Amino acid sequence: EKKIRRIDSAKDKSRAREKDSERLKVEENVFDVPTLKILYTLSNKGVIKAMGGAISTGKEANVFYAEGPDKELAIKIYRIASSTFKAMDAYIMKDPRFTNIRNNKRDIIFAWTRKELQNLKRAKNAGVRVPEPILAEKNILIMEFMGEKEVSYPLLKNTHLENEEAKSIFDTIVEYMRLLYKKANLVHADLSEYNILIDPNNLTPIFIDMGQSVTLEHPNAREFLYRDVQNILRFFSRYGIKDKPEELFKKIQVE
Ligand code: ADP
Ligand code: MN
């Protein structure tokens, strides 16, 4: 009972933090009864010691800070009441790993959550720096928190870099894209300065948000890779990086 109160108070805390009324509605949506039950069970099992505040409210999911038994956690909760889940169809229905899921909203969201966990595992095994995936349960994904003192590492988008630092980060990003492609058999498919965190201690990139990542068998995999390449080059052009998208696209696949 004490634990569920802690989860409730986390809900209150995140409410108090958020004044924007549109967002308030979204936060009410996220903690539906089935979601609270899973959090309660995970809390009883000791996977979660305490829920913290909201880190992010996105289009389909909210991310919360939490304390685990031995490390800090990020808990991504896909909202069942999410209205944009239709967009998930194109990514998941053609993925050979997910051909048996039923075509309803809840099942698509649960499959999506499992897919994000699996994608993070494959990326990690390929040597790409990502948050360590811990578990997926229905619409809840638990992973390692990438940040310090309850504050997430900055998004690439929000960093101010010297040209040399940018070049080194760019090179690592390209190497990660190559490792994803060659070793994990994956394309991120939403790669941009919005889905890369920067560890300020060593300026290494961390790929996040891999729910939509697809295997190379997906009919649009190369198209998604090309788009990722374009996004990355668009961002880094401000730092004087002028690689040609066609060449980078080839380099990732060939080397
Ligand atoms: P969305 O689908 O809403 O874009 P993301 O997975 O990109 O979800 O996460 C949203 C935000 O939450 C990120 O921009 C980042 O600031 C934060 N975040 C996500 N995962 C983590 C993590 N493992 N550690 C710390 N912060 C995270
Ligand atoms: Mn994102």
Q: Can you give the pLDDT at residue 87?
A: 73
> Cα(153)–Cα(155) distance, rounded to whole angstroms?
7
Residue recorded with tokens 């899921």: 101
Are 16 and 100 part of one and the same domain?
Answer: yes
pLDDT band, very low/low/confident/very high, at 1 (cuts 50, 70, 90)? very low
Strands (E), 58-153: 61-67, 72-78, 133-137, 140-144, 147-148, 151-152
User: Are 91 and 198 members of one domain?
Assistant: no
The residue contributing the CA closest to ligand 1 atom 10 is 56
Does ligand 1 lie within 6 Å of residue 61's CB atom?
yes
Task: Check whether residue 11 and residue 76 sit in a common domain.
Answer: yes
| Residue whose entry in the numeric block shows the structure tokens 């998208």 | 245
pLDDT digit string, tens, across residues 184-205: 999 999 999 999 999 999 999 9
Q: Give kind and range of the element (H or E) at residue 158.
A: none
* Domain C-terminal end among 151, 170, 188: 151
ipTM score here? 0.99
Q: Is 70 a catalytic residue?
A: no
Q: How high does pLDDT run on average in the chain? A: 90
- Does one domain contain both 141 and 250? no
Question: DSSP strand E in 109-222: where?
Answer: 133-137, 140-144, 147-148, 151-152, 186-187, 196-199, 204-207, 214-215
The CATH code of the domain that includes 59 is 3.30.200.20
Domain count, the chain: 2
**Residue 207: strand, helix, or coil:** strand
Q: Are 93 and 21 part of one and the same domain?
A: yes
Catalytic residue among 12, 190, 199, 228: 190
Torsion, Cα 87 89 94 96, to 10 degrees, reads 120
Same domain, 192 and 232: yes
pLDDT over 70 (residue 140): yes
Task: Identify the CA nearest to 18 among candidates 60, 66, 54, 59.
Answer: 54
| pLDDT score of 62 more than 90 | yes
The Cβ of residue 98 has, within 10 Å, a number of other Cβ atoms equal to 17
CATH number at residue 192: 1.10.510.10
Residues 161, 227, 211, 74, Cα dihedral to 10° = 10
**Same domain, yes or no, for 20 and 37?**
yes
Describe the chain by its helix, strand, coil percentages, rounded to 5: 45, 20, 35
54-71: average pLDDT: 95
Is residue 9 pLDDT above 80, yes or no?
Answer: no
| Residues 16 and 105 reside in one and the same domain | yes
**208: Cβ below 6 Å to ligand 1?**
yes
Report the pLDDT value the prediction gives residue 97, as an integer from 0 to 100: 81
Q: Are 10 and 80 part of one and the same domain?
A: yes
Let me know if 209 is a catalytic residue. yes
* pLDDT level of residue 104 (50, 70, 90 thresholds): confident
Q: Is 196 in the pocket of ligand 1 (CB under 6 A)?
A: no
Establish how many alpha carbons lie within 13 A of residue 196's alpha carbon, considering only the half-sphere containing its beta carbon. 26
Q: Which residue among 85, 209, 210 is best mutated to probe the pocket of ligand 1, counting the most ligand atoms within 8 A of its Cβ?
A: 209
User: 199-243: per-residue pLDDT in tens?
Assistant: 999 999 999 999 999 999 999 999 999 999 999 999 999 999 999
Task: State residue 242's pLDDT score.
Answer: 97
- Which of 71, 76, 113, 192 is the pocket-test mutation for ligand 1 (most atoms within 8 Å of CB)? 76
- Going by C-alpha positions, the residue among 218, 212, 205, 35 that lies closest to residue 137 is 35
- Cβ-contact 24, 14 below 8 angstroms: no
Arithmetic mean of pLDDT, 59-84: 92
Looking at the fold, whether 125 and 60 belong to one and the same domain comes out as yes
* Per-residue pLDDT tens digits for 12-57: 555 555 555 555 555 667 888 999 999 999 999 999 999 999 999 9
Residues 80 and 206 in one domain: no
Q: Which residue range forms the structural domain that includes residue 243?
A: 154-254
Measured in Å, residue 16 CA sits from the centre of ligand 1 at 20
Cβ of 209 closer than 6 Å to ligand 1, yes or no, is yes
* Cα 74 to ligand 1 centroid, rounded to whole Å: 8
